Amino acid sequence: MGDWWLDAVLYEVYIRSFTDSGSDGVGDLAGITSRLPYLRDLGVDGIWITPFYRSPMADHGYDVADHRAVDPLFGDLATFDTLLAEAHRHGLKVLVDLVPNHSSNAHPAFRAALAAGAGSPERDLYIFRDGRGADGDEPPNNWVSVFGGPAWTRATDGQWYLHLFAPEQPDWNWRHPRVRDDHDATVRFWLDRGVDGFRIDVTHGLIKNDLLPDNPPPPSDGIPFFRERAEPHHWDQEGVHEIYQRWRAIVEDYRRRDGQARVLVGETWVADPRRLARYVRPDELHLTFAFSLLAASWSAPAWRTAIAADLAATAEVGAPTTWVLANHDVTRPASRYGSGESGLRRARAALLTLLALPGPVFLYQGDELGLPEVDVPPAHRQDPVWERSGHSRPGRDGCRVPLPWSGREAPYGFSADGVPPWLPQPDGWAELAAAAQASDPLSTLVLARGALALRRALPMLGAGLLRWRDDTPPTVLAFDRPSPPGPPGTPPGPFSGATGLTCVMSTAGTDVDLVIPGRLVLASSPVGYDGTTLTLPPDTTVWLAPHPG
């Protein structure tokens, strides 16, 4: 038996938008506790909760003012402890978010740095520099913020500080031992409370080239999704790795003491799978999201290329690949792969393929409901990206709209009736609500539950081998998950006698006929199958249990 995360399915809870147990229109910790039975029935192995720490919420909690305190908006430490204990009682693991690249500008250390002035030891915990130009009134270099605008903001005494994200998120100086020690203390604090691991924010950003050289001029079509080639001096620097070795040593130390395995998962936006795999070498993080699949277009060849490259790269360092199609920063799959009915068909097909891949999978809340991206009206947009980009980028609010749970109209059981959620939910979400889908056998929720239950029950799913099938046209992605040999004397399980499980996903524009003798296990849309010939309609995934020979 390997460690629990090697084939786990983890569910991202974007806390603001999951469930509001109070009446302020913002989701909270007690709201998560109230939905644990839903998550257990969905069949996931655990949750990752986005930041709930004390914060002025300039980036909705990713601007942390105290990493060891709960923001009153979400509850308190006692509410967190209850959630953790209840989750464990339901057999669910809990990962919390660690945000080490930057703090909030309301963090006491940043306030002290501003007050202490240029050249002070307090300023050394962040990245302060004099400006360029005769009066120092130009930023120290040409770096830009991920959210838009310059990556530097001027303090009142004339020095500038670096923020790769919003001005309210000053970057820590990770060369400083006090910064390292303070984060070690945060890691230990949450481990001592009993968490099962961390999702670590912006793992590729912590260390900057000390000389702070200018970046090359940006590409004419803008900086891409993966930024490290356009911005070579502050992403994916060699120095980040020793930080992860340090945290790995801490969790190994806890494991030696109590035998419990905790997991470190990186959010590493690095395009080259071999560079990415360096974050999951044996003495660093356990997992890191494989974002190349998330970035792949709706096309079987693009999926195959991404999956094969990620599998090969992580295998070289002995780590699994961590699959993900969505999170709180990107357009929801049901809209990204298309729109309306065809977008939903594709999202359902994508979900089944994702769950057939070997290794851990992360789902994003609402993807089990097939929620689409919402075009949040400009007056309601809250993401700093909208303002920082001068209203040229709508930002990420569209994937963060509070979940519909039940009822005919907003807030659809998210908040108490009559309380407007922090982002408006669209009309017409009643059919998408979890309660409505639970009683519809053809719903995405029932499909997701079925797939997760099978993934648990079938030994060929989860961790293990993937073998590509080359007997399908290029617009069809097809792979086998061979059955592992059971110990002698094992009674036959479901679909025993099959050589494994075959997953076939069509991105073709017309029906495709394939000859695969076997039994039908699950399909994302109706298919034709007579036990030998499979007629696969466009944008459909099917799981089959093939007969031997």
Neighbour tally for 533: CB within 10 Å = 12
**Closest CB to ligand GLC among 59 and 397?**
59
Q: Are strands 263-266 and 287-288 parallel, antiparallel or unpaired?
A: parallel
Q: Which residues are catalytic?
A: 201, 267
Cross-strand pairs, 543: 503, 522
Residue number, 385 or 508, with CB nearest to ligand GLC: 385
- Say if residue 86 is exposed, middle or buried (CB neighbours under 10 Å; 0-12, 13-18, 19+): middle
Tokens of 496: 């025993």
Please tell me whether residue 201 binds ligand GLC under the rule CB under 6 A: yes
Closest contact distance (angstroms) between CB of 245 and ligand GLC is 22
Give me the 119-158 binding string for ligand GLC, x by CB under 6 A, dash otherwise. ----------------------------------------
The secondary element (H helix, E strand) that includes residue 476 is strand 476-482
Those residues whose C-beta lies under 8 Å from the C-beta of residue 208, and which sit 6 or more positions away, are 127, 162, 171, 233, 234, 237
Q: Which of 10, 32, 202, 544 binds ligand GLC (CB under 6 A)?
A: 202
Number of residues near ligand GLC (by CB under 6 A) = 9
Q: Which residue is nearest to ligand GLC (CB)?
A: 62
Would you give the binding string for ligand GLC spanning residues 237-276, x where CB under 6 A is met?
Answer: ------------------------------x---------
Q: Which is nearer to ligand GLC, 360 or 411 (CB)?
A: 360
Name the minimum Å distance from CB 399 to ligand GLC. Answer: 10
d(Cα 104, Cα 301) in Å, to the nearest integer? 42
Residue whose CB is less far from ligand GLC, 20 or 267: 267
Q: How many residues does the chain have?
A: 549
Q: Who's near 220: CB < 8 A, 6+ residues apart?
A: none
What is the rounded distance in angstroms from the CA atom of residue 369 to the CA atom of residue 334? 10
User: Please, which residue, 59 or 480, has the CB nearer to ligand GLC?
Assistant: 59
Ramachandran assignment for 122, one of left (phi > 0), alpha (psi -120 to 50 degrees), beta (any other): alpha
Q: Pick from 5, 48, 53, 62: which binds ligand GLC (CB under 6 A)? A: 62
Give the contact letters, 325-364, x = binds to ligand GLC (CB under 6 A), - = no. ---xx-----------------------------------
Amino acid 514 reads L
Rg (CA), the chain: 24
Does residue 168 interact with ligand GLC by CB under 6 A?
no
CB nearer to ligand GLC: give 62 or 337.
62
Where in 101-120 is the site for ligand GLC (CB under 6 A)? none
Contact partners, residue 450, CB within 8 Å, separation at least 6: 522
- Is the separation of the CB atoms in 140 and 132 below 8 Å? yes
20 makes contact with ligand GLC (CB under 6 A): no
Q: Is 165 in the site for ligand GLC (CB under 6 A)?
A: yes
What residues line the site for ligand GLC (CB under 6 A)? 59, 62, 99, 165, 201-202, 267, 328-329
